[in-house]
């Protein structure tokens, strides 16, 4: 529509200027302008003029991406105990068909994360991987990057990219014996984000 | 604005029905309806009624996700030769800090893909990984899932999810000695898609 196009191109623009461009009177323009303003398509600022108020695609997209919560997309985590041998951890990785294992203490609280690369590094060494527990090679608290249910998919993806990890444990804080502990209630991985991306592309 | 809200809620809805809901005459409603239709906010279908025509966020997102080309997002692939030993492949994986290696023939054409899991599986066996070439453990053509520059980020992500792979080689077709061969010109991985997702969330 002509008025919208004119405002988009020349904002801020007064009603006199719009009328002049359309070669009509201000009186003839007034009903159109008031309906467009009421519809939220144009925005009128006193003494300045009319602006195009419609949100652009980029900010709509960003809003959507940031509105999706971790709780909506989280996947099921595979957890192992600290005492699990590196060999058994590798077997679990294949059996469960995952890329990252989360390591928990006796009370179930998170204490480490083991990746395929951690396992590969030890596997090519000369160590006896049936004797070594994963606790020796895992990345430990407090060096773990975690995410909570209330954070967004965007937050999770940003952490994955910035910290160069494949997976984040989704954690719930709990207090036990005066200490803050983390319960693992899910995971968000590069796979989770890739699946979400595919969902966004479906119409 | 009231008219838009009514149409959104009751579409398709005739002008008589809208007028009745607003307790005004059709004649009084007509100018507003025609301006909203011209502005592309409402859509009028003869004998059916008015629809809300504004694009919703979901279809805008899908359009955006499908409009991004592989050529815009592809990353640099790490390639190795068929004769490379499994041990050297693992060393390359760590040195280059990647998750997937692409295997090429003497003439540079793609013949296989090696993942961290392929390498981990052989590394925990009893084989001498310094003697075994990657060609023994790689996934081979024609079982490889590939993508071209002209396909979309959505296409690539969908292939990654459906075929459960971490990375796709971006290939260019070339003819040599009467055979169709693939030149590796990039890669799209779960990392690539995760980074793109973060970009979409930035304002």
Q: Are residues A43 and A6 in the same domain?
A: yes
Range B172-190 average pLDDT: 92
Q: When comparing pLDDT for B152 and B174, which is higher?
A: B152
Residues B50, B71, single domain; the answer is: no
Query: In chain B, what is the straight-line distance between the N-terminal and C-terminal CA atoms, in Å?
Result: 27
Residue B92 is predicted with a pLDDT of 97
Which pLDDT score is estimated for A60? 72
Is the pLDDT confidence value at A143 over 80?
yes
Residue percentage of chain B with pLDDT more than 70: 97
Give tens-digit pLDDT for B118-139: 999 999 988 899 999 999 999 9
Q: Do B165 and B107 fall into the same domain?
A: yes
How many CB atoms lie under 10 A from the CB of residue A102? 24
The H or E element spanning position A180 is: strand A179-189
- Using one digit for the tens of pLDDT, what is the confidence trace for B91-100? 999 999 999 9
Q: Is pLDDT at B26 greater than 80 in this prediction?
A: yes
Out of A52-56, A114-118, B62-66, give the one with best mean pLDDT.
Answer: A114-118
Q: Give the three-state DSSP class for B110.
A: strand
Q: Is the separation of the CB atoms in A107 and A176 below 8 Å?
A: yes
Q: Please answer yes or no on whether A161 and B202 come within 8 Å at the CB atom.
A: no
Indicate whether A57 belongs to any domain.
Answer: no
Domain boundary among B10, B28, B54: B54
Q: Is the same domain home to A173 and A74? A: yes
Return the pLDDT at A48: 85
Closest by CA to A111, choosing from A89, A132, A80, A77, is A80
- Find the range with the poorest average confidence among A126-135, A171-180, B161-170, B190-199: A171-180
pLDDT at residue B53 tops 80? no
Nearest-angstrom CA–CA distance, A167 and A149? 15
Domain boundary among B31, B54, B77: B54
Quick check: B39 pLDDT over 70? no
A174 in a domain, yes or no?
Answer: yes
CATH number of the domain that B127 lies in? 3.10.580.10
Residue B56 has pLDDT above 80, yes or no: no
A165 pLDDT band (50/70/90 cuts)? very high
pLDDT, average across residues A68-91: 97
CA separation for the pair A182, A1 (Å, rounded): 56
Q: Report the pLDDT value the prediction gives residue B182, as an integer from 0 to 100.
A: 95
* Cβ contact A53:A42 at 8 Å: yes
pLDDT tens per residue, range B145-168: 999 999 999 999 999 999 999 999
Q: List, as one string, the DSSP characters of B6-65.
A: HHHHH-SB-HHHHHHHHTS-HHHHHHHHHHHHHTTSEEEETTTEEEE-SPPHHHHHHHHH
Question: Which of B31, B161, B203 has the CB atom closest to A194's CB atom?
Answer: B161
Residue in B with minimal Cα distance to A99: B117
Number of domains composing chain B: 2
Judged by average pLDDT, the poorest of A18-32, A44-58, A174-188, B109-123 is A44-58
Question: Is residue A5 predicted with pLDDT exceeding 90?
Answer: no
Q: Do A59 and B203 touch (CB under 8 A)?
A: yes
Task: Give the model's pLDDT for residue B72.
Answer: 97
A60 within some domain: no
Give A164→chain B minimum CA distance, Å: 9
pLDDT at A54: 65
Contact predicate B43/B11, CB 8 Å: no
Q: Mean pLDDT in chain A?
A: 91
Q: Based on the domain organization, do B23 and B113 belong to the same domain?
A: no
Give the β-pairing of B110-115 and B139-140: antiparallel
Distances (CA, A) of A154 to A36, A62, A107, B10: 34, 9, 31, 34
Residue B79 falls within a domain, yes or no? yes
**Between residues B25 and A59, the one the model is more confident about:** B25
Q: What percentage of chain B exceeds 90 in pLDDT?
A: 65
Percent of chain A with pLDDT over 90: 66
Q: How far are the Cα atoms of A138, A145, A180, B129 from residue A142, in angstroms, in the given order?
A: 12, 8, 12, 35
- What confidence tier does A39 reach under pLDDT thresholds 50, 70, 90? low
Distances (CA, A) of A55 to A5, A41, A42, A51: 15, 9, 11, 12
Q: What phi and psi, each to the nearest 5 degrees, are found at residue A2?
A: -60, -50
Task: Give the mutation candidate from A2, A3, A64, A194 for the B interface (greatest B CB count, under 10 A).
Answer: A194
Asked if B101 and B92 touch (Cβ cutoff 8 Å), the reply is yes
Are residue B31 and residue B76 in the same domain, yes or no? no
* CATH classification of the domain holding A30: 1.10.10.10
- In the prediction, which pLDDT does A160 show? 98
Contact (CB, 8 A) for A202 and B62: yes
Query: Does some domain include residue A180?
Result: yes
Judge whether B61 lies within some domain: no
Q: Are residues B71 and B33 in the same domain?
A: no
Question: pLDDT band at residue A38, thresholds of 50, 70 and 90?
Answer: confident
Q: What average pLDDT does the segment B19-27 reach?
A: 91
Closest C-alpha among B20, B4, B2 to residue B52: B4
Residue in B190, B199, B202, B203 to test binding to A, most A beta-carbons within 10 Å? B190
Query: Is A166's pLDDT higher than 70?
Result: yes
A179 has a pLDDT exceeding 90: no
Are residue B94 and residue B133 in the same domain, yes or no? yes
Which pLDDT score is estimated for B100? 98
Residue B183 and residue B87 share a domain = yes
Question: Using a CB-CB distance cutoff of 8 angstroms, which residues of chain B are in contact with residue A32?
Answer: 35
Bond preceding residue B4 cis, omega within 30 of 0:
no
Q: What is the mean pLDDT of residues A39-55?
A: 78
In a domain, A91, yes or no: yes
Measured in angstroms, the CA of A109 and the nearest CA of chain B are apart by 28
- B121 and B28 together in one domain: no
The answer to whether the CB of B62 falls within 8 A of the CB of A203 is: yes
Rounded to the nearest integer, the mean pLDDT of chain B is 91
Same domain, A87 and A171: yes
Continuous segment of H or E residues that includes residue A191: helix A190-201
Instruction: Assess if residue B6 is contained within a domain.
Output: yes
C-alpha dihedral (B198, B164, B57, A10), degrees to nearest 10? 50
Q: How confident is the model at residue A144 (pLDDT cuts 50, 70, 90)?
A: very high
Query: Do B97 and B165 sit in the same domain of this protein?
Result: yes
Q: Domain range for residue A41?
A: 2-52
């Amino acid at each position: 529509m002509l008025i919208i196009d004119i405002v988009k191109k020349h904002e801020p623009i007064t009603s006199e200027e719009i009328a002049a461009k359309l070669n009509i009177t201000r009186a003839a323009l007034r009903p159109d302008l008031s309906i467009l303003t009421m519809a939220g398509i144009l925005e009128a600022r006193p003494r300045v003029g009319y602006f195009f108020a419609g949100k652009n695609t980029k900010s709509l997209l960003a809003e959507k991406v940031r509105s999706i919560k971790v709780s909506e997309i989280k996947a099921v985590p595979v957890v192992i105990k600290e005492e699990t041998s590196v060999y058994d951890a590798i077997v679990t990785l294949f059996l469960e068909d995952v890329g990252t294992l989360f390591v928990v203490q006796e009370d179930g609280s998170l204490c480490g994360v083991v990746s395929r690369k951690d396992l590969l590094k030890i596997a090519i060494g000369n160590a006896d991987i049936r004797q070594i527990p994963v606790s020796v090679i895992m990345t430990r608290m407090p060096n773990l990057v975690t995410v909570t249910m209330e954070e967004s998919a965007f937050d999770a993806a940003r952490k994955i990219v910035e910290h160069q990890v494949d997976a984040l444990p989704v954690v719930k804080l709990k207090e036990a014996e005066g200490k803050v502990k983390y319960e693992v209630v899910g995971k968000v991985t590069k796979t989770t984000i890739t699946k979400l991306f595919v969902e966004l592309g479906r119409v």
